[in-house]
């Protein structure tokens, strides 16, 4: 597994972040979870309260020979509004903040350089936090692969699907994963 790397990204609701990154070639796995807080083993309810300090995140496992950390960050900037503090759309609170949690100094440098390069594309200042990844806590099972498992749910229809369409991302990989899981 040494040929795999991870990126932990917060860009609003983790269902959306997971659905976006699952579409990218070179992404091996995406896991919804929590990071950036002080609470050990947080629950969804604790994170939603805003008191845990954690953000909803996606832990993206990727093959760096197919897609680089820089390319993942390009999708990150395109997939949300990094200029709104603690908010994405109607999701409000510190748990929905924009953040890049780096695992080493190389990721930190790349994230800072990427943020600086992205800034001219936005009318307002980017408020994305760039912080060390101290811990990642997987979210509860019912949050994993949410879009794939709930494509007809209102949130998926009115929030996630339009986001994928705006980004020009196909749902083929999601459907492919669904067919794969059914046959396994």
* Neighbour tally for 170: CB within 10 Å: 11
Q: What 8-state DSSP symbol labels residue 168?
A: T
What SS3 state is found at 123? coil
Q: What 8-state DSSP symbol labels residue 119?
A: G
**Radius of gyration for the alpha carbons in the chain, expressed in angstroms and rounded:** 15
27-35 vs 129-132, strand pairing mode: unpaired
Please check the confidence at residue 13 and state whether its pLDDT lies above 90: yes
pLDDT of residue 12: 95
Q: Which of 13, 16, 59, 156 is flagged as catalytic?
A: 13
* Neighbour tally for 75: CB within 10 Å: 19
Q: Are 80 and 52 in contact (CB under 8 A)?
A: no
What pTM was estimated for this model as a whole?
0.90
5-178 CATH pick, 3.30.1060.10, 1.20.58.1910, 3.90.226.10, 3.30.1240.10: 3.30.1060.10
* Residue in 144, 175, 174, 146 with CA at minimum distance from that of residue 159: 146
Q: How far apart are the first and last CA of the chain?
A: 22
* Residue in 142, 149, 17, 145 with CA at minimum distance from that of residue 79: 17
pLDDT of residue 157: 93
Please check the confidence at residue 65 and state whether its pLDDT lies above 90: yes
Share of the chain above pLDDT 70, in %: 91
Q: What is the pLDDT of residues 152-178, one digit of tens each?
A: 999 999 999 999 999 998 665 544 444
Residue 61, burial from CB neighbour count under 10 angstroms (0-12, 13-18, 19+) = middle
**Would you call 16 a catalytic residue per the annotation?**
no
Q: What is the pLDDT of residues 73-101, one digit of tens each?
A: 999 999 999 999 999 988 999 999 999 99
């Amino acid at each position: 597994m040494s040929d795999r790397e991870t990126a932990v990204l917060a860009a609003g609701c983790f269902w959306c972040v997971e659905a976006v990154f699952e579409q990218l070639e070179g992404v091996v796995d995406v896991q919804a979870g929590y990071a950036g807080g002080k609470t050990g083993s947080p629950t969804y309810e604790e994170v939603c309260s805003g008191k845990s300090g954690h953000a909803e995140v996606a832990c993206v496992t990727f093959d760096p020979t197919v897609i680089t950390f820089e390319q993942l960050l390009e999708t990150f900037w395109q997939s949300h509004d990094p200029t709104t503090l603690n908010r994405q759309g109607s999701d409000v609170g510190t748990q929905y903040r924009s953040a890049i949690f780096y695992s080493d100094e190389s990721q930190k440098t790349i994230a800072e350089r990427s943020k600086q390069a992205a800034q001219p594309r936005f009318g307002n200042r980017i408020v994305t936090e760039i912080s060390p990844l101290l811990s990642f806590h997987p979210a509860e099972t019912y949050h994993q692969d949410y879009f794939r498992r709930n494509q007809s749910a209102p949130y998926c229809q009115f929030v996630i699907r339009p986001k994928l369409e705006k980004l020009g991302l196909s749902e083929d990989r999601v459907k492919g994963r669904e067919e794969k899981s059914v046959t396994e």
